[in-house]
Amino acid sequence: MSIMQKLSSIAEQTSGLINESGSPIGSRIERVYSATEGDIGGSKKILVGTNNYLGLTFDKECIAAGHEAACQYGTGTTGSRMANGSYAEHLALESDLAEFYGVEHCIVFSTGYVANLGMICSLVGPENTIFLDEHCHASIYDGCKLSGATIIHFRHNNAADLDKRLRRLGDNSANALIITEGLYSMLGDKAALREIVEVKNKYDALLMLDEAHSLGVLGATGRGLAEELGVEDDIDFITGTFSKSLAGLGGFCVSRHSQLEAVRFSSRPYVFTASPSPATIGSVRAALRVMQARPELQKKLWDNATFLYHGLKAMGFELGPEIGPVIAVDAGEKENALFMWQALFDQGVYVNVVFPPATPNSSCLLRCSVSAAHSREQMQAVLDAFTQFKQLQSVTAAQA
């Protein structure tokens, strides 16, 4: 197959999924009214597919901080930190995050994707072995491939399987890197982190934890699953993103290991990517302050998640294994998933639809991400839309 034939094949497969009026992929959002509502296809929709967990995208303090930073430093950095230098705000954000996590070292990257890519390919090489949970994010998989290390998958959330595979390395297990996530983005389940930490310590391996979806969501102060389980001291490297709870763009890694600073010189994604814009850094610093000052946001998020999860469960939908800000509804085959997505869209609810191989199994998912900014009335409207789908499905089946 030629390059152009390959592209034509992809275009054919995705035809009908992308349009301006409203589609499950690449929807055109004309306007965003708030953290929970936007204009898609010419009408107002409740946004239940944004990862805006704490609802801070329209927070006045965050917007003001971004505006002030843009006025002081301009719209962009126009280069990497290695080439053009670090703005004072980049260093200040790294200091804020290090203090927040109670460690000495932090590196800020341009995106969460680049954070995982840059860290993995810097930490390990062809002489190392990586053990990663099979449900890990694409950025982790790509970082592993880029590193040239030997890659060994262990069964999702199965510490016993990890133990068995590490044991086979013998003395080389101390030269291995284990990678897992705090909260998995597709099904919304938590990592078996305490058991994985026990295996990690048993073999003296290193452990990298991606808390992208658990920052601001889990833990007494919002540091994530490691804080919730009391195992932070056992984690060697924690990566995360600003594009979820912190309502911005960028990524980071924090560590108690001083060797983290060497990554600034060895990570190609860090060295050769333009640094985050001043407005982004300013708004993220403000969001971090707001998150710490308003713990009630996390409580509201979990109240909404519990309400929606139980409501969908009572209707008979097959959901992810745990209550959380990510609520995945099994939508079956592609045709049914598209039918389901359109029915919800027509009822004024916008969710994500995810197809294999992005899903962890062969089924398609409708992925709802809950926000602290959602009102109870909006959560009820989402349940009502799912009820309408059930009724429409019954009518369609009877006509068939």
224 contacts: CB under 8 Å, gap ≥ 6: 182, 183, 209, 211, 214, 215, 217, 218, 238, 240
Q: Using an 8 Å Cβ cutoff, are 319 and 329 in contact? A: yes
Among residues 139, 185, 277, 363, the one annotated as catalytic is 185
**Hey, is 184 helix, strand or coil?**
coil
**Scanning the structure block, which residue is given the tokens 């609520």?**
327
Among residues 135, 190, 213, 374, the one annotated as catalytic is 213
Q: Is 244 a catalytic residue?
A: yes
Q: Using an 8 Å Cβ cutoff, are 368 and 49 in contact? A: yes
Sort strands 43-47 and 37-40 into parallel, antiparallel or unpaired: antiparallel
CA–centroid distance for 398 within its chain? 40
Q: Is 45 a catalytic residue?
A: no
Q: Using an 8 Å Cβ cutoff, are 216 and 53 in contact? A: yes
Residue 140 vs residues 76, 116, 178, 210, 239: alpha-carbon distances, Å: 27, 6, 11, 9, 11
Among residues 135, 137, 244, 300, the one annotated as catalytic is 244
**Hey, is 193 helix, strand or coil?**
helix
**Residue 287, both tokens:** 């969001």
State the sign of the Cα–Cα–Cα–Cα dihedral 284, 290, 295, 298.
Answer: negative
Q: Is 9 a catalytic residue?
A: no
Residue 388 vs residues 262, 340, 355, 366: alpha-carbon distances, Å: 55, 10, 23, 16
- What gap in Å lies between CA 239 and CA 255, rounded to an integer? 9
Residue 387 vs residues 317, 325, 391, 392: alpha-carbon distances, Å: 11, 21, 6, 9
- What gap in Å lies between CA 254 and CA 211, rounded to an integer? 11
CA angle, 80 then 84 then 90, to 5°: 70
Hey, which residues are catalytic here? 185, 213, 244
